[in-house]
């Protein structure tokens, strides 16, 4: 047998064992997900648990679509945050808006994706695929958002992280009044000091209600440049002094790009030497050949400087439905990794941006008016 052939056949022998029904999630992942995307899900579980959750790693989570109305905020994301496994978040506004329904005590119901939507409209029932809820849930959630956004502390320009943090305090108080168990991703992030950014703050009902306040004379506005600088500063801090940066991407879309663009911002725009994210974990059902960023692979991200080329072995893309992959990954991490102290990155935002400015000045590009040609 040639040395090359020995190398090709050096992987662990496939030795499947029958399921008994008594397996834990950890057992199932380790012993039964042996090939195809099952194996990718096993590799993703190992990457998250064994490397990304090391004490020196900072984990950024991107969350697309509307995962929270399906209950994934409560079942998976809140436990991950409380365990110190998620340090900062970029989410669609939809996830944060629909998260509020649970915290405010409103009911969402199992339904069918095959019901006549004209009938649903006539009965004023909202459908998110197979999730049903009363139209009144939207109206009452909107009223809560407008009431909160009208408070004096919101009457200025702020980053989306600050808005969500301040909103989280009001959500937490409402949960206490209802004497309910923890239901809100937003209030959990507030308590744990995990900053939540929205890459497209106007693209959700949450943003629509903020826009309504502007028509009514409110002064609240979002500082999107502040969001870019704060997220960039988080990643630069994570990489300094031998630390590592990992991205955990659920789905794709704008949140995926926003969490990844931190590295091109450091290297390309600010001119600060850096090597890209160390760990890349994505759950997606998108293909790379259709031109959508959601399917862009880690190797493609290397060409942008988003991922460290020397760390490609620590990159896993699992082509699986997020509503399947996220709970399994969360359960595996919670069942195998030690809890980590909360980094409370929200509390460090000003100092972190200050260090970014210092690094920018040190490379000599600060304040330059570059011209073409």
Give every CB contact of residue 120 below 8 A, 6+ residues apart in sequence.
126, 127, 132
DSSP-assigned beta bridge partners for residue 341 = none
Rounded Cα distance between 344 and 189, Å, is: 9
pLDDT tens string 47-66: 999 999 999 999 999 999 99
User: Residue 370: pLDDT above 80?
Assistant: no
Pairing assessment for the beta strands 125-128 and 315-319 based on DSSP bridges: unpaired
Q: Which residues of 32-62 are buried (b: 16+ CB within 10 A; e: fewer)?
A: ebeeeeeebbbbbbbbbbebbbbeebbbbbb
pLDDT on residue 366: 64
CATH number of 33-358: 3.40.910.10
Q: Which residue has the tokens 């499947």?
A: 16
Question: Which helix (H) or strand (E) element contains residue 250?
Answer: strand 244-250
Band the pLDDT of 373: cuts 50, 70, 90.
Answer: very low
Pairing assessment for the beta strands 125-128 and 131-134 based on DSSP bridges: antiparallel
User: Residue 210: pLDDT above 60?
Assistant: yes
pLDDT on residue 305: 79
- For the chain, what are the domain ranges? 33-358
pLDDT on residue 320: 93
pLDDT on residue 287: 78
pLDDT on residue 367: 61
Residue of 100 and 302 predicted with greater confidence = 100
* Main-chain dihedrals φ then ψ at residue 226, nearest 5 degrees: -60, -40
Band the pLDDT of 188: cuts 50, 70, 90.
Answer: very high
User: Residue 365: pLDDT above 80?
Assistant: no
Residues in the chain: 373
Band the pLDDT of 201: cuts 50, 70, 90.
Answer: very high
Return the SS3 of 110: strand
List % helix, strand, coil for the chain (3-state, nearest 5): 55, 15, 30
Lowest mean pLDDT among 11-20, 30-39, 53-62, 281-290: 281-290
Q: Are 133 and 106 in contact (CB under 8 A)?
A: yes
Average pLDDT on 352-363 reads 95
Alpha carbon 355 to its chain's center: 24
Q: Are 263 and 306 in contact (CB under 8 A)?
A: yes
Rounded Cα distance between 257 and 296, Å, is: 10
State the average pLDDT for the chain: 92
Q: Are 44 and 249 in contact (CB under 8 A)?
A: no
Alpha carbon 321 to its chain's center: 16
pLDDT on residue 302: 77
What distances in angstroms separate CA 373 from CA 267, 370, one per listed residue? 21, 10
Q: Are 251 and 70 in contact (CB under 8 A)?
A: no
Q: Are 43 and 316 in contact (CB under 8 A)?
A: yes
User: Residue 298: pLDDT above 90?
Assistant: no
Closest CA to 252 of 344, 302, 194, 321: 321
pLDDT tens string 115-150: 999 999 999 999 999 999 999 999 999 999 999 999
Return the SS3 of 148: helix
pLDDT on residue 167: 98
Band the pLDDT of 308: cuts 50, 70, 90.
Answer: confident
DSSP-assigned beta bridge partners for residue 283 = 250, 318
DSSP-assigned beta bridge partners for residue 278 = none
Average pLDDT on 150-156 reads 97
Identify the active-site residue in 306, 343, 368, 371. Answer: 306
219 labelled catalytic: no
């Amino acid at each position: 047998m040639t040395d090359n052939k020995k190398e090709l056949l050096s992987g662990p022998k496939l030795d499947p064992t029958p399921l008994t029904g008594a397996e834990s999630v950890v057992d199932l992942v380790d012993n039964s997900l042996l090939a195809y995307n099952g194996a990718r899900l096993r590799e993703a579980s190992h990457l998250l648990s064994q490397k990304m959750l090391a004490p020196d790693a900072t984990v950024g989570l991107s969350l697309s679509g509307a995962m929270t109305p399906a209950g994934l905020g409560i079942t998976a994301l809140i436990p991950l945050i409380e365990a110190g496994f998620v340090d900062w978040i970029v989410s669609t506004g939809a996830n944060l808006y629909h998260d509020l329904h649970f915290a405010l005590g409103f009911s969402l119901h199992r339904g069918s994706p095959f019901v006549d939507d004209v009938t649903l409209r006539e009965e004023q029932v909202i459908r998110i695929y197979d999730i049903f809820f009363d139209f009144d849930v939207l109206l009452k959630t909107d009223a809560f958002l407008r009431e909160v956004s009208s408070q004096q502390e919101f009457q200025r320009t702020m980053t989306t992280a600050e808005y969500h943090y301040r909103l989280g305090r009001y959500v937490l108080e409402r949960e206490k009044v209802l004497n309910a168990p923890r239901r809100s991703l937003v209030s959990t992030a507030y308590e744990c000091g995990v900053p939540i950014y929205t890459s497209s703050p106007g693209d959700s009902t949450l943003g629509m209600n903020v826009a309504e306040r502007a028509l009514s004379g409110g002064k609240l506005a979002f500082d999107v440049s502040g969001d870019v600088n704060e997220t960039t500063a988080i990643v630069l801090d994570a990489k300094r002094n031998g630390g590592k940066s990992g991205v955990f991407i659920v789905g794709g879309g704008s949140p995926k790009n926003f969490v990844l663009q931190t590295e091109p911002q450091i290297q390309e725009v600010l001119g600060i030497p850096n090597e890209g994210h160390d760990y890349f974990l994505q759950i997606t059902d998108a293909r790379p050949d259709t031109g959508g960023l959601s399917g862009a692979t880690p190797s493609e991200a290397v060409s942008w400087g988003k991922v460290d080329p020397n760390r490609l072995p620590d990159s896993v893309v699992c082509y699986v439905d997020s509503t399947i992959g996220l709970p399994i990954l969360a359960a595996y991490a919670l069942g195998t990794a030690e809890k980590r102290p909360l980094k409370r990155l929200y509390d460090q935002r000003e100092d972190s941006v200050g260090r970014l400015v210092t690094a920018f000045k040190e490379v000599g590009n600060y304040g330059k008016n570059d011209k073409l040609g």
